[in-house]
Amino acid sequence: MLESMTGYGRGEHTTEHYRATAEIRSVNFRYCEISLKMPSQLHIFEQPLKEKVQKNVKRGKISLTVDLDHHTSEEEPVHIRKEALMTRIKTLEKIREAAGINDPVRLEHLLVFEDLFELTEDDPDLLREQQEAVESAVMKAVGELLDMRRREGRMLQIDLEERMELLAGYCVDVREGEKERIQDARKRMTERLAQLLEDNRVDDERIEQEIAILADRLDISEELVRMDAHISYFAECLRDAELQGKKLNFILQEMHREVNTIGSKANSSAISRTVVGMKEIIENIREQIQNIA
């Protein structure tokens, strides 16, 4: 089953002291690229988080945002970064003076700065609890993302299968008119040669040979056979669990080549109109498969 590269997911996980929330979005991209935004004290978890996401999401440009909140009033062994605290106070004092604000700097003004607090190696239990909360929230978000990508993938597969049926229908239309087209072309060539060779200096056998050669140049039966094979193989690839977008792109290139040949050899206004429709379908499919993960 196909999987789209676009999607969204959100996850939340609560432990004794923390509540972590994660939001993840993905859009089309050739490879898997992960952009992670989270509080500075969680950066020690950055690489493990990226690795976990990448194991589940193979392709797409991924934007992941993680937040972590305390939800307990009990005293916790959180350490204050005193140098950072003094720097923030001085900065706020300068802002206050520059803006002409008389109110003093208060505690609530400082609590917005997450970099003032840190957990040290003396707090292994809280570190593990943070990691549990964050990883669980992220994986829940990834699960929602994958569900959405698979739902879109199912819709994408239905659309591609319908377009392939239309393309196969066009091939049937061309094939049904093929015998009549060859006969008409043969008749026109015979009449033209008869006009040019009224003096009978060229025998009938030579005329038949020339007609056969020209008719062979107009024959598109081989192209239609290859088109049937490409359509069948494309449908098979859509059901492949190890689907690769490059493979589908290659098949479409081969289809486009066969359709061009049919158009150039057919010498028929009706078939030319059909070829335009076939090219349009192939181009639409090409645009759709760019979103396949």
In angstroms, rounded to a whole number, what is the distance separating the alpha carbons of residues 26 and 134? Answer: 19
Residues 174 and 219 grouped into a single domain: yes
pLDDT above 80 (res 279):
yes
What average pLDDT does the segment 115-136 reach?
77
Confidence of residue 187 (pLDDT cuts 50, 70, 90): confident
Distances (CA, A) of 220 to 80, 259, 265: 80, 10, 7
Residue 43 sits in the same domain as residue 102: yes
Q: Which of 135, 152, 169 is the last residue of a domain?
A: 152
The residue that leads in pLDDT, 165 or 88, is 165
Q: Are residues 28 and 160 in the same domain?
A: no
Please indicate, yes or no, whether residues 68 and 199 belong to a single structural domain of this protein: no
Residue 124 lies in a domain: yes
pLDDT of residue 269: 78
Average pLDDT estimate for 129-157 = 94
**So what's the pLDDT on residue 121?**
46
> What is the residue-averaged pLDDT of the chain?
84
Domain range for 78: 7-152
148 and 219, same domain (yes or no):
no
Same domain flag for 133 and 167: no
> pLDDT at residue 53 above 90?
yes
What is the mean predicted confidence (pLDDT) over 25-39? 92
Residue 189 lies in a domain: yes
pLDDT of residue 119: 55
Q: Kindly state whether residues 93 and 160 are assigned to the same domain.
A: no
* Residues 196 and 119 placed together within one structural domain of the fold: no
Q: Please check whether residue 234 lies inside any domain of the structure.
A: yes
Residues 113 and 197 in one domain: no
Q: Are residues 175 and 123 in the same domain?
A: no
Residue (of 16, 20, 15, 13) closest to 39 by Cα position: 20
pLDDT band at 209, cuts 50/70/90?
low
Of 152, 183, 199, the residue at which a domain comes to its end is 152
**174 contact partners, CB below 8 Å, separation of at least 6:** 220, 224, 262, 266, 271, 274
Total domain count, the chain: 2
Task: Mean pLDDT check: name the lowest of 86-90, 132-136, 154-158, 251-255.
Answer: 86-90
